[in-house]
């Protein structure tokens, strides 16, 4: 590494500057080092921390260190292989760190490509020159050339939306509310093209699942004529480290004018942005579920405000948060009422399963409708959000049920190869052979309980021997490229009946799909989470929207034991706004988000009591702070409770909910509270984390 030490100290104290560095370590605060001059805020440095070296980011050049200068270590190396991260980017990441109450290092470092933050890339055997130089020496893979495609003509509502977005001056959030097939994407593309033509850049966020190669291709075809060759960069989690670095560098160097990406690309080093778009803004995949638990959608709005630019949130089923903003006119609502291709919406039928005799979980009504569609050479989608063969195995003589030894949950029966089964835990990954006989009573009559996608696929194969049945779920698409191949065969008409989980719900435009059957949606309805109906409705609308997109006369059949529930009643009429008003009133009465703000402190320990005691102590500490801050009337602290699935992988889990009517009071509490929690004596036995604006409770 000696050739990389070009900026290291030569020992002359007069030439030193102090730097403050953000490191990705689970310790609060920033870390001071000495460094030779020439280092800039936004540069990366190799420093020694504890017993090892790591890469960190310089975030300040303080005039003096926070601790005894004689204790301050010297930077090993300043990395100058990329330009420093900009002030506007740092401001944005600081906001995210403050808002979500995490150390800055946990925000800035994971936002960089792996190659730019891992020491081995700079200090390993093959490190000569570092990853950036090595990449630059390699020839860039030739981008597949795209045939430029021309934009279709917009209808009046689309045109209106594009005009307003393009005319927006300064910060302006838009909620683009349009049913599936109403042409939201065309609005994004037109608005993006106008922004690019003005010489500004565009950030387009999509949920992970929407980022199909087809979408990327059509986007390139449409926007490369404006953005220039190579002017579109794509950032998502399926990229290899090298691909990701290459795309990221094109963004940082300003070559990429439009960035298309999933949630992490909200942290792309993109200056001169003129427009941010968040497609399917309600999608839970915008929320990071570990580490920095951020919402890319919420950060997109903040970033747009900070930059003074328009931001477009698009959805057929907006989150209640965004809907309420639109009702209060914080966001401007743009409606796309019609399906762009002028085909009618699918009709929805609820089949009440309470008094029905079902055949393998399928009602006569659904089977008849399937037969009719198949006879008419149309495709059928059976939606069941439960993978595996059956949710559990049980003994018919004594009632034994297959259970995970490490979690308080059932193990799911999976068919591994035809005729062979295994039990899998979906929570900890535990796998087990199916016992030959009941472990409790020795009886050999073990039966699966309920149905997962594999079992439904098997039944349908028997019920429709002539039909070609395929299944798309996390199990059938494990191999790289297999999901693409499966979807391609559906598009090519090689599949008559498709069985799938939520993987098939979004974004796929099946041209010949006439019927969607929805099984077991009720399971989601009675979750304890107050957002469950909202999420279910969004999912049902999305699945339903797959039917009849091209043929018209599509049909959706929902099997339910609770047809009177508002979710289903609203689905019958494709009535999101009715559903939203109803749900909004309920939330307002109960003072739930978006009418209040929440934070969730979760703890896990080997024994439940330890986790609960920690949370109880945390609650009492918070009560003390509320009294001191005189904000008791603004903030409610609930009692610590165990999670519904209390034990996962032998750790017992509990949580404490904090609810506030006033966001600044909540943020003030959290800041001081965190400092106290970090000093709690029980930390050896408890793992805890705090989540701001939790999505799941």
Considering the complex, state which of residue 421 and residue 587 has its C-beta at the smaller distance from Zn ion: 421
In the complex, minimum distance from the CB of residue 401 to Zn ion, in angstroms, rounded to a whole number? 10
Q: Which of 4, 438, 556, 558 binds Zn ion (CB under 5 A)?
A: 438
Burial of residue 514 (number of CB atoms within 10 Å: 0-12, 13-18, 19+): buried
Considering the complex, state which of residue 400 and residue 464 has its C-beta at the smaller distance from Zn ion: 400
In the complex, minimum distance from the CB of residue 661 to Zn ion, in angstroms, rounded to a whole number? 39
In the complex, minimum distance from the CB of residue 397 to Zn ion, in angstroms, rounded to a whole number? 5
Considering the complex, state which of residue 133 and residue 445 has its C-beta at the smaller distance from Zn ion: 445
In the complex, minimum distance from the CB of residue 346 to Zn ion, in angstroms, rounded to a whole number? 39
In the complex, minimum distance from the CB of residue 424 to Zn ion, in angstroms, rounded to a whole number? 9
Burial of residue 160 (number of CB atoms within 10 Å: 0-12, 13-18, 19+): middle
> Which residues, including other chains, have CB under 8 Å from residue 483's CB and lie 6 or more apart?
472, 477, 503
User: Could you give the count of Cα atoms lying within 13 Å of 219 in the half-sphere of its Cβ?
Assistant: 28
Return phi, psi of residue 49, to 5°: -135, 120
User: Could you give the count of Cα atoms lying within 13 Å of 526 in the half-sphere of its Cβ?
Assistant: 6
Longest dimension (CA), the chain: 87
Which residues pair with residue 17 across a beta bridge?
A: 35
Could you tell me which stretch among 166-174, 423-431, 515-523, 681-689 binds Zn ion (CB under 5 A)? 423-431
Question: Using CB under 5 A, which residues numbered 389 to 418 contact Zn ion?
Answer: 395, 397-398, 400, 404, 406-407
In the complex, minimum distance from the CB of residue 393 to Zn ion, in angstroms, rounded to a whole number? 11
Considering the complex, state which of residue 427 and residue 597 has its C-beta at the smaller distance from Zn ion: 427
In the complex, minimum distance from the CB of residue 651 to Zn ion, in angstroms, rounded to a whole number? 11
Considering the complex, state which of residue 149 and residue 408 has its C-beta at the smaller distance from Zn ion: 408
Site size toward Zn ion (CB under 5 A) is 15
Could you tell me which stretch among 14-22, 91-99, 170-178, 428-436 binds Zn ion (CB under 5 A)? 428-436
Considering the complex, state which of residue 438 and residue 601 has its C-beta at the smaller distance from Zn ion: 438
3-class secondary-structure state, position 584: helix
Element (H, E) at 185: helix 184-197
Considering the complex, state which of residue 397 and residue 422 has its C-beta at the smaller distance from Zn ion: 397
Considering the complex, state which of residue 297 and residue 424 has its C-beta at the smaller distance from Zn ion: 424
User: How far is it, in rounded angstroms, from Cα 298 to Cα 302?
Assistant: 6
Could you tell me which stretch among 96-104, 437-445, 597-605, 666-674 binds Zn ion (CB under 5 A)? 437-445
In the complex, minimum distance from the CB of residue 440 to Zn ion, in angstroms, rounded to a whole number? 5
Could you tell me which stretch among 6-14, 101-109, 321-329, 429-437 binds Zn ion (CB under 5 A)? 429-437
* DSSP β-ladder status, 651-660 and 597-605: antiparallel
Considering the complex, state which of residue 174 and residue 410 has its C-beta at the smaller distance from Zn ion: 410
CB atoms within 10 A of CB 214: 15
Asked if 430 interacts with Zn ion (CB under 5 A), we say yes
Could you tell me which stretch among 140-148, 435-443, 451-459, 614-622 binds Zn ion (CB under 5 A)? 435-443
Asked if 425 interacts with Zn ion (CB under 5 A), we say yes
In the complex, minimum distance from the CB of residue 266 to Zn ion, in angstroms, rounded to a whole number? 33
In the complex, minimum distance from the CB of residue 408 to Zn ion, in angstroms, rounded to a whole number? 9
Q: Residue 165 is encoded by which pair of tokens?
A: 């977005």
> Which residues, including other chains, have CB under 8 Å from residue 204's CB and lie 6 or more apart?
188, 192, 219, 258, 259, 260, 261, 276, 277, 279
In the complex, minimum distance from the CB of residue 430 to Zn ion, in angstroms, rounded to a whole number? 4
User: How far is it, in rounded angstroms, from Cα 194 to Cα 165?
Assistant: 10
Considering the complex, state which of residue 432 and residue 623 has its C-beta at the smaller distance from Zn ion: 432
User: How far is it, in rounded angstroms, from Cα 349 to Cα 572?
Assistant: 7
Chain-centroid distance, C-alpha 413: 27
In the complex, minimum distance from the CB of residue 290 to Zn ion, in angstroms, rounded to a whole number? 18
Considering the complex, state which of residue 363 and residue 402 has its C-beta at the smaller distance from Zn ion: 402
User: Could you give the count of Cα atoms lying within 13 Å of 159 in the half-sphere of its Cβ?
Assistant: 5
In the complex, minimum distance from the CB of residue 289 to Zn ion, in angstroms, rounded to a whole number? 18
User: How far is it, in rounded angstroms, from Cα 124 to Cα 131?
Assistant: 11
Considering the complex, state which of residue 272 and residue 440 has its C-beta at the smaller distance from Zn ion: 440
DSSP string, 405-435: SSSSSBPEEEEEETTEEEEE-TTT--EEEPP
* DSSP β-ladder status, 555-560 and 513-519: parallel
Q: Which of 428, 469, 558, 652 binds Zn ion (CB under 5 A)?
A: 428
In the complex, minimum distance from the CB of residue 609 to Zn ion, in angstroms, rounded to a whole number? 21
Q: Residue 114 is encoded by which pair of tokens?
A: 């792996």
Considering the complex, state which of residue 182 and residue 409 has its C-beta at the smaller distance from Zn ion: 409
DSSP string, 373-416: HHHTT-EEEEEES--SSBSEEEETTT--B-B-SSSSSBPEEEEE
Could you tell me which stretch among 10-18, 240-248, 439-447, 472-480 binds Zn ion (CB under 5 A)? 439-447
Considering the complex, state which of residue 441 and residue 488 has its C-beta at the smaller distance from Zn ion: 441
What angle do the packed helices 608-629 and 663-678 form, to 10 degrees? 130
- Exposure string (b/e) for 393-418, b if CB count within 10 Å is 16 or more? bbbeeeebebebebbbbbbbbbbeee
Asked if 590 interacts with Zn ion (CB under 5 A), we say no
CB atoms within 10 A of CB 59: 20
- What are the residues binding Zn ion (CB under 5 A)? 395, 397-398, 400, 404, 406-407, 425, 427-428, 430, 438, 440-441, 443
């Amino acid at each position: 590494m000696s050739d990389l030490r070009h900026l290291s100290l030569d020992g002359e104290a007069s030439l030193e500057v102090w730097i403050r560095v953000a490191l990705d370590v689970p310790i609060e605060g920033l870390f001071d080092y000495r460094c030779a001059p020439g280092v800039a805020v936004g540069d990366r440095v190799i420093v020694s921390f504890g017993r090892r070296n790591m890469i960190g980011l310089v975030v300040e050049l303080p005039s003096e260190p926070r601790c005894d200068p004689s204790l301050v270590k010297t930077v090993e190396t300043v990395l100058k292989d990329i330009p420093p991260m900009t002030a506007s980017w740092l401001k944005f990441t600081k906001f995210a760190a403050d808002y979500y109450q995490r150390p800055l290092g946990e925000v800035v470092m994971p936002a960089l490509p792996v190659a730019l933050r891992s020491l081995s890339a700079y200090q390993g055997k093959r490190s000569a020159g570092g990853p950036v130089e090595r990449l630059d020496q390699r020839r860039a893979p030739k981008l597949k050339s795209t045939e430029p495609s021309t934009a279709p003509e917009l209808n009046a509502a689309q045109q209106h939306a594009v005009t307003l977005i393009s005319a927006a001056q300064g910060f302006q959030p838009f909620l683009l509310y349009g049913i599936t097939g109403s042409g939201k994407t065309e609005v994004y593309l037109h608005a993006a093209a106008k922004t690019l033509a003005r010489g500004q850049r565009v950030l387009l966020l999509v949920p992970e699942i929407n980022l199909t190669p087809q979408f990327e291709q059509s986007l390139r075809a449409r926007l490369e004529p404006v953005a220039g060759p190579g002017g579109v960069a794509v950032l998502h989690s399926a990229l290899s480290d090298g691909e990701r670095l290459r795309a990221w560098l094109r963004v940082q160097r300003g070559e990429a004018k439009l960035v298309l990406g999933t949630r992490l690309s909200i942290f792309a080093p993109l200056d001169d942005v003129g427009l941010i778009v968040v497609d399917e803004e309600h999608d839970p995949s915008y929320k990071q579920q570990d580490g920095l638990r951020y919402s890319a959608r919420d950060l997109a709005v903040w970033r747009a405000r900070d930059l003074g630019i328009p931001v477009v949130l698009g959805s057929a089923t907006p989150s209640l948060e965004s809907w309420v903003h639109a009702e209060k006119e914080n966001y401007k609502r743009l409606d796309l009422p019609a399906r762009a291709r002028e085909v009618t919406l699918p009709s929805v039928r609820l089949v009440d399963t309470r008094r029905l005799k079902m055949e393998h979980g399928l009602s006569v009504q659904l089977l008849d409708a399937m037969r009719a569609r198949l006879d008419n050479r149309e495709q059928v989608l059976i939606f069941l959000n439960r993978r595996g063969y059956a949710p559990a195995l049980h003994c018919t003589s004594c009632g034994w049920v297959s259970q995970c030894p490490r979690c308080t949950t059932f193990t799911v029966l999976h068919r591994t190869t035809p005729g062979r089964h295994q039990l899998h835990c979906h929570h900890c990954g535990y796998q087990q052979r199916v016992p030959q006989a009941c472990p409790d009573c020795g009886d050999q009559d073990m039966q699966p309980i309920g149905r997962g996608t594999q079992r439904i696929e098997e039944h349908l194969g028997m019920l429709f021997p002539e039909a070609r049945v395929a299944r798309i779920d996390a199990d059938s698409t494990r191999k790289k490229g297999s999901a693409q191949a499966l979807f391609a065969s559906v598009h090519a008409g090689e599949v008559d009946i498709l069985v799938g989980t939520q993987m098939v719900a979004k974004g796929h435009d099946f041209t010949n799909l006439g019927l969607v059957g929805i099984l077991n949606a009720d399971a989601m309805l009675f979750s304890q989470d107050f957002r469950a109906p909202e999420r279910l409705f969004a999912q049902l609308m999305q699945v339903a929207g797959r039917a009849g997109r091209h043929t018209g006369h599509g049909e959706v059949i929902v099997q339910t034991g609770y047809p009177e529930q508002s979710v289903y009643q609203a689905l019958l009429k494709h009535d999101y706004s009715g559903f939203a008003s109803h749900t909004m009133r309920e939330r307002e009465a109960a003072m739930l988000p978006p009418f209040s703000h929440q934070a969730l402190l979760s703890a896990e320990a080997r024994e439940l009591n330890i986790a609960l005691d920690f949370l109880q102590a945390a609650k009492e500490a918070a009560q003390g702070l509320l009294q001191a801050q005189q904000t008791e009337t603004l903030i409610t602290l609930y009692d610590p409770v165990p999670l519904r699935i209390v034990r996962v992988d032998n750790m017992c889990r509990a949580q404490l909910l904090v609810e506030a009517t006033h966001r600044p009071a909540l943020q003030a509490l959290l800041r001081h509270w965190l400092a106290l929690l970090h000093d709690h004596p029980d930390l050896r036995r408890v793992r805890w984390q705090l989540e701001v604006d939790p999505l799941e409770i």
